[in-house]
Structure 1
Amino acid sequence: MKRRNALKLEKPVRVMIFPGGTEIGLEIFRSLSYSRHIELFGATSLENDVGCLLFKHYYTGLPFVNEKTFLKKFCPLLKKLKIDFIFPAHDTVGLFLAEHQRDLPGKVLISPIKTCRICRDKQKTYKYFEGILPVPKVFENTYQIPHFPVFLKPKIGEGSKGVFRVETKNELEGILENKSNLLILEYLPGKEYTLDCFTNYEGKLIFFGARERIRVSNGISVDTRVTDCSKFTQFAETINGHLKFRGAWFFQMKERANGELVLLEIAPRVSGGMGLFRNRGVNLPLLTVYDALRIPVEIMEQTFPEEMQRCLFNYYPKTFVSSPPQTYKKQPYFFDHVYIDYDDCLFLHGKLNYPLILFLIQCKEAHIPITVLTRHKGPYKISLHALGLDKLISAFIELHKGEKKSAYIQSKKPIFIDDSYQERKEVYDTLKIPVFSMDMIESLIDWSLWYG
């Protein structure tokens, strides 16, 4: 991806991602956080979420968009922060912001209202494209169903919330007694695909990339692989020709038993799996910002990686102290000196302990001294020097036989890292300070430092 005839921005544009802690919000965050042209902000209606640990500027506790007070709280925040663009990270939020664009001080990065309304309701989507594209058969009642299983899906929903595969008529009738907003659809047993797309300010579809949804968990594609997009060309061009899009969007298709492709849904927003194409050189959220500035762009896609797998990742909000609600700012670390062992710490299983090195770089940047306490008698300094890591260390202390490491720990707020339980226990029992084994290092890493 690159900009053509790139404009020199006088100052970075200010982008607010809302809500910032969703899977979609995090993908937008990863896509924009390294750009020198963007100053990034995030907000959420929750009191606390993972965005607090990643964004440098994050605002919590806003009303939800279905509450009357939302705009009264959200608009003054946008004005105060001088936000240029608002990037929706949820389907309902996107439609709401599109419908209230005139009330908002910043431009919403989303497609026109008509497109948002049609795409938000799957029944409207299927009726709109009926006769234009293959869409799932929709049954009005149980008598129309020729055979089971069938698939139940909310008219308005996201992910896999409220979806059911139903095997029998009795099961179906039992579900419909309590839920009236469900579509009864034909069951599609084949492969499922997502097409990540980009339409520029001239209405031209300048990118679409196909990926197979190999494994799905809670509606999220946790294993997705790039596939040949030629068989989807007509579908992408037809959808782009019948609805007006702007920026990043996507649609999903699934195969019938005979291999025929059927439209599942369309969404005028960033997909959580767009990170696969981002790592192939096509940063669709960043392109969306440039397009909103009417900067012409072109695509340069690489052929790797071919597959992306996703999983939950651990963050630890109690590691750092937050300021009062509405804003979240990092406070000074709870420690002022790091004492660390050498053997099986800095080097583990014969190679560098990369998570620990990451943490030590974090400490170095924060001017927190690092002292190595070791019983090692070999040329360990040479190994560190060869890798350029000796500069991370403030001091080396070599202990003699029988000496206790606690005797050399003297700062006011130290922490101690060692792979040995006996060494950690001795230090903790003597000094009552925080001690960490190798599997605990992840709780010390401040991930907000590793993004732009």
Structure 2
Amino acid sequence: MAIKVLVFPCGSEIGLEIHAALKYSKAVELYGASSVSDHGAFAYLRYRQIDAHVQSPDFIEQLNELIQEWGIDMILPAHDSVVLKLAECRDTLLATAAVPSAAVAGVCRNKNSTYARLSEAGFDFIPADISGLSDTYPIFAKPAVGQGSQGAEVVHDYQRHQQLLDCGIEYVFSEYLPGAEYTVDCISDSAGRLLHFSPRERSRVKSGISVRTRPVRLAQSVERIADSIASTFCFKGAWFFQIKCDVQGRYKLLEIAPRIAGSMGLSRNLGINYPLLSVYAYAGLAFEVLPQDYPLEMDRALQSRFRTGLQYDCVYLDLDDTLIIKGSVNTLLMALLYQWVNQQVSVILITRHAQCPRATLAQYKISEHLFSQIIHIVDGSPKSDVIERRQGVLFIDDSYRERLDVSRQVGIPVFDLDAVEQLLDWRA
């Protein structure tokens, strides 16, 4: 039986990576929830927006209501604040929370606490702390509670340093680290043993998120850092840490997070599905990793997904320059064809093709069984003559003349190729 997993907040970059990682898994039945209207509604087939946010007094109560309604087995957090809240309230949750103990989550949520805990253990990969105003500049400043590189800055003089000291926000002030920055994705088993770590370069960062990243090989000292953190905190499942080089080229710790990272999709495509392995770890299941090793780079940008209010059960689809375009199969329309098969939407191929349409479909390895009917117009009559005049029918054709005629004569929605993306349902 599949493990019912609830992701919260599911529309964050982390939540969307979890969706991408778990949506095809036969071991998981995926659910999503958020406290604000977000992209999760466009990605998660089973989705709910709740009224409470993580600081609301009834947050856990509302989560428990969803857990009971959906029969949830496990919650995967998709934000650092949610990790801490679930850890603090795990005894009152009605499902397993994929989070560490409240003590460990609290230490990891505050970078000053993280540095203090690891310094007490005698580790030397902690950046040098700056207490009070510094004798030399630049230094590095970052909010003690935060995520990614948000709020981080290089402080070049004592005036700015004093402003940050007086601003009322707890900061980490440390030595300036001029070297390259890396994220190290890690996976531990259900007993907290580190199984694998995957360093990657933060090549391009936007709003604190690594939107371009690639795997890198780093010095053996990084493995020592990973082992030291793992032995100190005994994380289960996926977690990561970030490092940067000091002036002497030594790796120093920036932060640790006991959760999925939004850019773990890079490692997922190299054989390690961190969200799925986290589910296994917190379910107490045994697993191993099979990493792949070849050049790969990942870049992320805004992607449009649509939620159309159209209700339809029949699509009329053109062949030339529509399904077949520039001598190749239109792969977006092929995806839609199989979506419509799953949704039991009837697709009728309507074409003025110069040859036999079935022979051309066979040439391009497109099954004619994807269509409920093939209408071959050879007498020059308008396509509007053979299209059903009723609601629930759509027409897709690259020709403006054909679309204009169908729109005027039949009165149904018509689509050029640049508009069919709105019909693709990404939810899973």
State the TM-score, normalized to the length of structure 1: 0.88
In the alignment, residue 370 of structure 2 is paired with which amino acid?
L
Aligned counterpart for 1:99 among listed residues 82, 88, 95: 88
Q: Relative CO higher for 1 or 2, CA cutoff 8 Å, sep ≥ 6? A: 1
Q: Give the distance between the partners of 2:158 and 2:297, measured in 1 at CA.
A: 39
Helix, strand or coil at the partner of 1:403 = coil
Helix, strand or coil at the partner of 2:239 = strand
Task: Quote the offset at 1:379 in angstroms.
Answer: 3.5
Which residue of 2 is the match for residue 238 of structure 1?
228
Tell whether 2:286 aligns with 1:296: yes
In the alignment, residue 203 of structure 2 is paired with which amino acid?
I
Q: Give the distance between the partners of 1:145 and 1:251, measured in 2 at CA.
A: 29
Which residue of 1 is the match for residue 23 of structure 2?
33
Tell whether 2:372 aligns with 1:394: yes
Give the total of aligned pairs: 423
Helix, strand or coil at the partner of 2:213 = strand
Helix, strand or coil at the partner of 1:285 = helix
Assess if the C-alpha contact under 8 Å between 2:185 and 2:240 holds in 1: yes
Percent identity of paired positions between Structure 1 and Structure 2: 37
Deviations along 1:391-449, one digit per CA (max 9) or x if unpaired, are 1122222334653222222142211111122322232233332221112121100112x
Task: Quote the offset at 1:86 in angstroms.
Answer: 1.1
Task: Quote the offset at 1:122 in angstroms.
Answer: 0.9
Q: Give the distance between the partners of 1:231 and 1:438, measured in 2 at CA.
A: 53
Alignment of 1:38-437 (within 5 A): 38-46=28-36, 48-130=37-119, 131-141=122-132, 143-148=133-138, 150-173=139-162, 178=167, 180-229=169-218, 230-304=220-294, 306-317=296-307, 319-320=308-309, 334-386=311-363, 387-400=365-378, 402-412=380-390, 413-437=392-416
Task: Quote the offset at 1:278 in angstroms.
Answer: 1.6
In the alignment, residue 399 of structure 1 is paired with which amino acid?
I
Helix, strand or coil at the partner of 1:272 = coil
Task: Quote the offset at 1:187 in angstroms.
Answer: 3.0
Deviations along 1:59-80, one digit per CA (max 9) or x if unpaired, are 1123001011212222122123
Task: Quote the offset at 1:373 in angstroms.
Answer: 2.3
| Unaligned runs of at least 5 residues, structure 2 | none
State the TM-score, normalized to the length of structure 2: 0.92
Assess if the C-alpha contact under 8 Å between 1:115 and 1:244 holds in 2: no
Aligned counterpart for 1:442 among listed residues 408, 414, 421: 421
In the alignment, residue 114 of structure 1 is paired with which amino acid?
A
Q: Give the distance between the partners of 1:127 and 1:274, measured in 2 at CA.
A: 27
Name which of structure 1's ranges 207-216 and 175-184 shifts more when overlaid on structure 2.
175-184
Structure 1 residues 110 and 423 mapped into 2: Cα distance closer, same or farther (>3 Å)? same
Deviations along 1:332-362, one digit per CA (max 9) or x if unpaired, are x612211122111111221110001111111
In the alignment, residue 224 of structure 1 is paired with which amino acid?
T
Which residue of 2 is the match for residue 323 of structure 1?
none
Assess if the C-alpha contact under 8 Å between 2:143 and 2:171 holds in 1: yes
Q: Give the distance between the partners of 2:75 and 2:3, measured in 1 at CA.
A: 11
Assess if the C-alpha contact under 8 Å between 1:95 and 1:117 holds in 2: yes
Assess if the C-alpha contact under 8 Å between 2:389 and 2:410 holds in 1: no
| Unaligned runs of at least 5 residues, structure 1 | 1-10, 321-332
Helix, strand or coil at the partner of 2:91 = helix
Q: Give the distance between the partners of 1:173 and 1:439, measured in 2 at CA.
A: 54
Task: Quote the offset at 1:14 in angstroms.
Answer: 1.6
Helix, strand or coil at the partner of 1:425 = helix
In the alignment, residue 66 of structure 1 is paired with which amino acid?
Q
RMSD: 2.1
Q: Give the distance between the partners of 1:274 and 1:147, measured in 2 at CA.
A: 35
Task: Quote the offset at 1:103 in angstroms.
Answer: 0.6
In the alignment, residue 132 of structure 1 is paired with which amino acid?
F
Deviations along 1:375-401, one digit per CA (max 9) or x if unpaired, are 221244212124133211222223346
In the alignment, residue 269 of structure 1 is paired with which amino acid?
R
Q: Give the distance between the partners of 1:194 and 1:108, measured in 2 at CA.
A: 24
Q: Give the distance between the partners of 1:247 and 1:364, measured in 2 at CA.
A: 37
In the alignment, residue 415 of structure 1 is paired with which amino acid?
L
Assess if the C-alpha contact under 8 Å between 2:200 and 2:214 holds in 1: yes
Deviations along 1:158-209, one digit per CA (max 9) or x if unpaired, are 1233233444444455565545333333332221111111222223111111
In the alignment, residue 28 of structure 1 is paired with which amino acid?
I
In the alignment, residue 264 of structure 2 is paired with which amino acid?
M
In the alignment, residue 100 of structure 2 is paired with which amino acid?
S
